[in-house]
Chain A
Amino acid sequence: MNNSPSPNGSPAPLVEARKLVKRFGDFTAVDGIDVEVQAGEAFGFLGPNGAGKSSTMRMVGAVSPPTDGELKVLGLDPVRDGPQIRARLGVVGQDNALDEQLTVGDNLAIYGRYFDLPRSVIRERIDELLDFVQLKERRDSKVDPLSGGMKRRLVIARSLINDPDMVLLDEPTTGLDPQARHALWERLYGLKQRGVTLILTTHYMDEAEQLCDRLVVMDQGRIVAEGAPSQLIATHASREVIELRFPPGEQVNALPKLDGLGEHVEELPDRVLISSNDAEAVVREVHTRGLEPATVLIRRSTLEDVFLRLTGRTLID
């Protein structure tokens, strides 16, 4: 890690953003956010599509210049020192952007040369990385026939070819089936264990919960909450959530009778969520009030509930 300590002795953050803004014409994608990411952290941006996560990632990746505010990445200025910063970053973009006509190995080799790595180093790293992402047997096969999960793992291998100080992952598992997603999480968890700093965006709360030490919740270009996943849940949601589903058409009549139950009642198109620290009591009270929901589910609170509580909307529409 080339991270130099700041004068007060604590290591300088890898990413330091103050009042960071990104505008495209009249549209403000990122609206004055403050973010700090420390070395070794797994840091997440959680939010729905259009929250400004990807625009933030592109600024941190030194490919998109900030419109306003301050940004330092690896202690450098991304506008002035773009190539030096990018030389030390690994990037997994939303698109795989693989050359599908080439082999798995050649995709990595070409990418390694963009960093001007010596060919011998590239050869060694390809072996090691394909081993890490479990694609060793696929080294000489073309990319085209690989499954979605395999391609995504190859993109992760590609992002590591330059042995980066920090890896940026923009929606790493979007579009993958649950099995492929878990395989990918496992690899990302492995990276985290090795001490690689990870920054990821996601609109999946389970992904954020699994991988992030700390995260910010973004909505409409702003940060609406910040903290460790458990801490966010503790602060912004109650311990448990009761999900009530009513037979079609009955939810609208049941709603007034739920008034005052638990700490908070949230109506969704297909169900009603009641947050509470004593779910059993709430369920008893629902029945006492003469309501007969079709299903009753008690679960612990998740980041999804945090988001819903903060914005009144769900993460995935």
Chain B
Amino acid sequence: MATPIAVRVLEGHLREYRHTWRGTTISSIATPVLFLAAMGLGLGALVDGGRGVDPAGDITYLAWLAPGLLAVSAMQAGAGDGAFPVMAGLQWIRTYHAVVATPVRPGDLLIGNLIWATIRLTVVGAVFVGVAVAFGAMALGPGLAALAPAVLTGIATCAAVSAFMATRKSDLAMSGLFRFVIVPLFLFSGAFFPLSELPAMVEPVARLNPVWHGVELTRGVALDVPTALHWAIHAGVLSTVFVVGTFLGSIAFARVLRA
């Protein structure tokens, strides 16, 4: 039986990963350690000494921050996977052009990339959860459960960024994307402070940020069990971004690769 074409693309990523896993694994451990230490412990001491993030006082800033960080780091990793490899494949090294000269179609290529991003984000997220558990910032069970919404946040971003980058010719677009889109979405995602702390006029705008939905759902799963309504709203927004991103992305890939 023939191997599904997207799976053949995935196999390529896995073979590549054999050469790169050391470097990426080290950075995927170092980043949460640094963030949890600096913000969770350092900033957390300040926050918990003041008004705190939980009116009841049960939840420390560290425990509140950890799932938010899990979601936004998945989002950043997803953005990275949607930007650099796509730019390299379509414009810089043009490896995608060689791939689609085989039975692989542009859509298979994108879907293979997204399956790979899902696996990679799950691995990186699991490492994060391990680190957070060691910090006492997360319980293992809820932490692992929170991987699902965090990974969804990451691959939704990956699909949307892939679609956007496929329409660009120069890498200027990439630095612009990170500076003016990814960084603001990251800062105003509710990962570091509750959006309710923002001025009343800004808060509703910040709630339009799809990453906030990812942070809310991931935090909900890690700290408590969200209601079905919460799940439906947040997962609905993220899934919509994922589906629309994938759809537009396969059109954009075909436009470049099948011109």
Binding site for B on A (CB under 8 A): 24, 61, 63-65, 82-84, 86-87, 89, 91, 93, 95, 97-102, 106, 109-111, 113-116, 158, 162
* Whole-angstrom CA separation of A158 from B104 in the bound complex: 15
A-B contact count (CB 8 A): 77
Shortest CB-to-CB span from B53 to chain A, Å, is 43
Are B93's CB and A97's CB within 8 A?
A: yes
Q: Mark B94-108, 1 if CB is under 8 A from A, else 0.
A: 111111111111000
Closest residue on chain B to residue A161 by CB atoms: B102
18 extra interface residue pairs, beta carbon distance < 8 Å, beyond A89-B101, A95-B94: A24-B259, A63-B101, A63-B257, A93-B97, A93-B98, A97-B96, A100-B93, A101-B16, A101-B19, A102-B15, A102-B19, A106-B19, A109-B15, A110-B12, A110-B16, A113-B8, A114-B99, A116-B8
> Which chain A residues lie closer than 8 Å to B105 at the CB level?
82-83
Q: Mark B48-72, 1 if CB is under 8 A from A, else 0.
A: 0000000000000000000000000
Are A98's CB and B101's CB within 8 A?
A: no
**Known contacts A63-B258, A97-B93; A91/B11 CB under 8 A:** no
18 A-B pairs, CB-CB below 8 angstroms?
A61-B101, A63-B258, A82-B105, A83-B103, A91-B98, A93-B94, A97-B98, A98-B93, A99-B16, A101-B19, A102-B16, A102-B19, A106-B16, A106-B19, A114-B8, A114-B12, A116-B8, A158-B98
Closest residue on chain A to residue B101 by CB atoms: A91
**Known contacts A24-B259, A86-B102; A113/B93 CB under 8 A:** no
Shortest CB-to-CB span from A300 to chain B, Å, is 38
B2 at the interface (CB under 8 A from A): yes
* Whole-angstrom CA separation of A109 from B105 in the bound complex: 19
Selected contact of A114 from candidates B19, B102, B258, CB within 8 Å: B102
* Whole-angstrom CA separation of A99 from B17 in the bound complex: 12
Selected contact of B103 from candidates A86, A106, A110, CB within 8 Å: A86
Are B98's CB and A111's CB within 8 A?
A: yes
Are A98's CB and B258's CB within 8 A?
A: no
B227 at the interface (CB under 8 A from A): no
Per the 8 Å Cβ criterion, residues 153-212 of B in contact with A are none
> Which chain B residues lie closer than 8 Å to A65 at the CB level?
258
Are A64's CB and B15's CB within 8 A?
A: no
> Which chain B residues lie closer than 8 Å to A98 at the CB level?
93, 95, 98
Shortest CB-to-CB span from A113 to chain B, Å, is 5
* Whole-angstrom CA separation of A157 from B45 in the bound complex: 61
> Which chain A residues lie closer than 8 Å to B12 at the CB level?
110, 113-114
> Which chain A residues lie closer than 8 Å to B102 at the CB level?
86-87, 111, 114-115, 162
* Whole-angstrom CA separation of A111 from B93 in the bound complex: 16
Are B103's CB and A116's CB within 8 A?
A: yes
> Which chain B residues lie closer than 8 Å to A114 at the CB level?
8-9, 12, 99, 102-104
